[in-house]
């Protein structure tokens, strides 16, 4: 299992860089993960989404899709893409330290 | 039973057979009396199916002893175990089954139903759209034809690919294939989500000269300019667009506190089909939020387990966690051939034969599968809806003819599921 070190702590991640154990995540790791994803600074709006992702994962066991984020997080899909240009559900999940949202089939 | 489509009809008929009329009253509620054979929609645009032949009265599909109430649902009151109808009347229930399927919500995508809708931009996911598209295809003189999936989940996730394959066949037959540029646009990172299947289907798109645009989340459709724009700013131009709109649950789900999720689907236990909203509410078919495909075969395989669990629930017995996510789809590939895929929660589509070592070839084009797909329409009205088993096709996924080593990742055969 690959590992990564954020905020001085070693964590386990999968091949795509998603946390395998969300309990290892702490808020002070987020800015460093964000920089890896080319997001220079996390604003309050970013944090609103990150905290929402954590909450959804903790209550439902999986992170929401972009469409559900747009309906429920209080941030529109357009703005979500401005905040996380490379794909809001995926990138926000990575920064929030939760597994990649389960794809629909 | 809310909904008289595939799931609601077969479940009502199965229940009626299991429970004698003196003990249980079964009422099916639906807002109209037109049962549409949805797998037939794919063929309408290409002139391969007659629209009128796809619709039959709902009320004629029920066994004696199933009551049909033609009325729209306003809301469900979970606390009071009561369904309110839009005419102001209500029905009390001991057990409720949500079988109202998925609804197309094209208006949720910017511009999709704006200028050009039903002129240059169509969907074949409704009868009206499929008929309109047939006319548009017949007058299409060439140019860029884009088939686009806005976002998942959608009904029958292979249908958009089948549309591409059939479009290739259609334009070749009309001797104008060289004048048509075919492009498939998907929000997924491949033609299909599952590895072995994705390889086969991507290869097929390639063989047929269909370009593939992946990870494209359509944010806006401009019918006038002929342009799809993704949320991340990419563009795909078109002369004719065939869009698969966003899907959601029925509007009454949103009006029923505690019943559905953010998209209007009803969360349920993926093995027992009991809703998470309340123990006396069950879900079948596309209306459910479970990690299975939205497809008629899923509703069919769920049927046996759903009715068993309703009978157990009524008897105060523990439920049987027996639904394994079994899905079975014929994939029409054009030129009188089709592929067949068969999978469940634990096993992805692989090669081999179905349902056993002697049977239809899996994940491979064959004439036999095409004939199977055509025969399915008869089976649908005469075996599926009456709630009978298709001979030799069990509700739980068979493994006998499958080459399970062909898949990547977890491919262990599903363990025997005991009630948990």
**Chain B neighbors of A65, CB-CB under 8 A:** 151-152
Interface probe for B, chosen from A67, A89, A101 (most Cβ of B below 10 Å), is: A67
- The pLDDT of B136-164, averaged and rounded, is 97
Which of A65, A81, A105 lies nearest to residue B231, judging by beta carbons?
Answer: A81
Cα B243 from Cα B247, distance rounded (Å): 12
Distance from B152 to chain A by nearest Cα, in Å?
6
Level-2 CATH architecture, domain B6-104+248-314: 3-Layer(bba) Sandwich (3.50)
pLDDT at A105 over 50: no
Q: Give the mean pLDDT of chain A.
A: 92
Q: What is the pLDDT of residues B268-320, one digit of tens each?
A: 999 999 999 999 999 999 999 999 999 999 999 999 999 999 999 999 999 99
Determine the average pLDDT of the residues in B260-275.
97
Question: What is the per-residue pLDDT across B152-196, written as a single tens digit (0 to 9) for each?
Answer: 999 999 999 999 999 999 999 999 999 999 999 999 889 987 777
Residue pair A103/B192 in contact (Cβ under 8 Å)? The answer is: no
* Contact at CB, B188 and A105, closer than 8 angstroms: no
Q: Is the CB of residue A79 less than 8 Å away from at least one CB of chain B?
A: no
- pLDDT band for position B419 (50/70/90)? very low
- For residue B263, list chain A residues with Cβ-Cβ distance below 8 A: 67-68, 71
Instruction: Determine the pLDDT at residue B406.
Output: 57
Closest Cα of chain A to B37: distance in Å?
22
pLDDT at B414 over 70: no
**In this predicted model, which residue has the larger pLDDT, B58 or A87?**
B58
Instruction: Tell if the CB–CB gap between B291 and A105 is shorter than 8 Å.
Output: yes
CATH no. for A3-95: 1.10.10.370
A77 CB within 8 Å of a chain B CB: yes
Do the domains spanning B6-104+248-314 and B106-246 agree at the CATH topology level?
Answer: yes
Most confident residue range from A13-17, B31-35, B373-377:
B31-35
Express each pLDDT in B62-121 by its tens digit. Answer: 999 999 999 999 999 999 999 999 999 999 999 999 999 999 999 999 999 999 999 999
Share of chain B above pLDDT 90, in %: 86
Among residues A1, A23, A40, A104, the one annotated as catalytic is A104
* pLDDT recorded at residue B100: 98
Q: Is the pLDDT of residue B412 over 70?
A: no
pLDDT at B407: 52
CB contact under 8 A, B292 and A77: no
The yes-or-no answer on residue A104 being catalytic is yes
Q: What is the mean pLDDT of chain B?
A: 93
CA dist B381 and B105 (Å) reads 28
- Does A66 sit within 8 Å of B293, measured CB to CB? no
Q: Chain A to chain B, count of Cβ pairs less than 8 Å apart?
A: 42
Where exactly are the structural domains of chain A?
3-95
Q: How confident is the model at residue B198 (pLDDT cuts 50, 70, 90)?
A: confident
Stretch 12-71 of chain A: residues touching chain B, C-beta under 8 Å: 64-68, 71
A103 inside 8 A of chain B by CB: yes
- The pLDDT of residue A6 is above 60: yes
**Residue A74: DSSP 8-state:** S
Beta bridge partners of B294: B155
pLDDT grade for B325, boundaries at 50, 70 and 90: very high
Q: Could you tell me if the ipTM is greater than 0.90? A: no
Question: Per-domain residue ranges for chain B?
Answer: 6-104+248-314, 106-246, 327-406
pLDDT band at A1 (very low <50, low <70, confident <90, very high): confident
Lowest mean pLDDT among B69-83, B317-331, B385-399: B385-399
Please say whether the structural domain B106-246 has been given the CATH code 3.40.50.720.
no
Of the partner residues B152, B215, B262, the one whose CB lies closest to the CB of residue A104: B152
Give the residue with greater pLDDT, B207 vs B358.
Answer: B207
Contact of A104 with chain B, judged by CB distance below 8 Å, is answered with yes
CA gap A11, A2 in Å, rounded: 9
pTM of the model: 0.92
Using CB atoms, pick whichever of B219, B232, B261 lies closest to residue A85: B232
Give per-residue pLDDT as tens, A35-65: 999 999 999 999 999 999 999 999 888 889 8
Asked if A105 and B232 come within 8 Å (Cβ–Cβ), the reply is no
Sign of the C-alpha dihedral computed for residues A66, B152, B129 and B365 taken in this order: positive
Closest Cβ–Cβ partner in A72, A85, A87 for B262: A72
């Amino acid at each position: 299992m690959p590992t990564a070190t954020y905020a001085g702590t070693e964590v386990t991640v999968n091949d795509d860089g998603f946390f395998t154990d969300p309990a290892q995540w702490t808020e002070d790791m987020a800015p460093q993960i964000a920089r890896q994803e080319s997001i220079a600074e996390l604003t309050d709006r970013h944090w609103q989404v990150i905290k929402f992702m954590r909450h959804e994962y903790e209550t439902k066991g999986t992170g929401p899709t972009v469409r559900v984020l747009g309906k429920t997080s209080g941030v529109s899909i357009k703005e979500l893409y401005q905040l996380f240009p490379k794909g809001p559900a995926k990138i926000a999940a990575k920064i929030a330290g939760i597994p990649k949202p389960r794809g629909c089939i | 039973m809310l909904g008289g489509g595939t799931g609601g009809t077969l479940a009502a008929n199965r229940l009626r057979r299991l429970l004698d009329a003196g003990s249980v009253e079964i009422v099916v509620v639906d807002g109209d009396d037109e049962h549409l054979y949805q797998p037939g929609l794919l063929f309408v645009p290409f002139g391969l199916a007659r629209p009128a032949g796809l619709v039959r009265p709902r009320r004629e599909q029920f066994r004696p002893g199933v009551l049909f109430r033609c009325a729209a649902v306003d809301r469900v009151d979970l606390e009071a175990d009561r369904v309110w109808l839009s005419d102001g009347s209500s029905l009390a229930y001991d057990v409720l089954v949500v079988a109202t399927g998925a609804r197309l919500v094209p208006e949720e995508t910017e511009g999709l139903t704006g200028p050009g809708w039903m002129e240059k931009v169509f969907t074949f996911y409704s009868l009206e759209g499929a008929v309109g598209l047939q006319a548009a295809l017949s007058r299409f003189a060439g140019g860029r034809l884009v088939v686009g999936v806005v976002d998942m989940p959608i009904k029958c996730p292979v249908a958009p690919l089948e549309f591409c394959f059939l479009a290739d066949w259609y334009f070749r037959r009309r001797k104008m294939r060289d004048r048509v540029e075919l492009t498939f646009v998907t929000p997924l990172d491949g033609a299909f989500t599952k590895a072995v299947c994705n390889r086969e289907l991507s290869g097929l798109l390639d063989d047929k000269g269909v370009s593939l645009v992946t990870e494209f989340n359509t944010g806006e459709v401009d019918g006038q300019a002929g342009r799809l724009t993704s949320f991340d700013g990419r563009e795909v131009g078109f002369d004719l667009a065939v869009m698969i709109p966003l899907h959601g649950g029925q509007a009454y789900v949103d009006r029923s506190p505690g019943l559905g999720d953010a998209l209007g689907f009803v969360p349920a236990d993926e093995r027992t089909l009991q809703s998470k909203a309340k123990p006396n509410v069950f879900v079948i078919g596309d209306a459910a939020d479970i990690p299975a495909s939205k497809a008629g075969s899923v509703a069919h395989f769920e049927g046996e387990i759903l009715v068993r669990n309703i009978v157990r629930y009524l008897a105060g017995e523990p439920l049987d966690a027996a639904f394994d996510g079994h899905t079975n789809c014929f994939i029409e590939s054009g030129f009188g051939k089709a592929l067949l895929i068969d999978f469940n929660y634990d096993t992805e589509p692989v090669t081999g034969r179905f349902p056993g070592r002697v049977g239809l070839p899996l994940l491979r084009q064959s004439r036999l599968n095409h004939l199977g797909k055509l025969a399915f329409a008869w089976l649908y009205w005469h075996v599926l809806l009456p709630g009978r088993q298709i001979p030799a096709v069990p509700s739980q996924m068979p493994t006998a003819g499958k080459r399970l080593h062909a898949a990547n990742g977890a491919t262990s055969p599903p363990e025997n599921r005991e009630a948990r």
